[in-house]
Structure 1
Amino acid sequence: MVVRLLHRTGVRRAHLQLASVGAIGLCLTLWVRAKTVDQDQRGNAERRALFVGLWPPTLWLIGESLQEFE
């Protein structure tokens, strides 16, 4: 149902795959930035990077499920 709605709104497989690659870049950027902040804030910054690191597989698999509608 969600995949059909995404397809109707114009989201394609390539869009989600690009978003997945972008999320990897964002995760790496946040991880490197976490090493430059104060020790007090480092835990939050690392957790933020790990949270964003969970997005790529989810976005990629949603994109793969859109393949049947294309």
Structure 2
Amino acid sequence: MLRQLHDAGLRAEHLYIAGIASIGFSFASWILSKRLESAGTDRADRWGIFIGEWAPTFIALGNGLRTYEK
């Protein structure tokens, strides 16, 4: 899988940036969901947590690609 990601043009830096961006996106989705939806804080929390779980995945893939690139 790492070879396919590398051959597709992805580099470790791209995945690190995606991990950092997903942290910001998680916070933004939590704020927006809390303000724009009438479902309440519980739903906003679920959105924030769901998107927040992407960051470790992107960073782990970035670490894998970093190892593959060496």
Under TM normalisation by the shorter chain, which class is it?
Answer: 0.7 to 0.9
Alpha-carbon distance in 2 for matches of 1:4, 1:60: 17
Alignment map for 1:10-25 (pairs within 5 Å): 10-25=9-24
Q: Match of 2:63, as an amino acid?
A: E
User: What is the number of residues matched between the two proteins?
Assistant: 68
TM-score calculated relative to the size of structure 2: 0.83
Alpha-carbon distance in 2 for matches of 1:69, 1:50: 30
Unaligned runs of 5+ in 1: none
Q: Match of 1:41, as an amino acid?
A: A
Alpha-carbon distance in 2 for matches of 1:36, 1:9: 38
Q: 1:41 aligns with which of 31, 39, 43?
A: 39
Unaligned runs of 5+ in 2: none
Give the conservation status (yes or no) of the 8 Å contact 2:31–2:44.
Answer: no
Q: Report how far residue 53 of structure 1 moved.
A: 0.5
Q: Deviations over 1:9-46 (max 9, x none)?
A: 110000000000110010010112233245x4223332
Percent identity for Structure 1 against Structure 2: 32
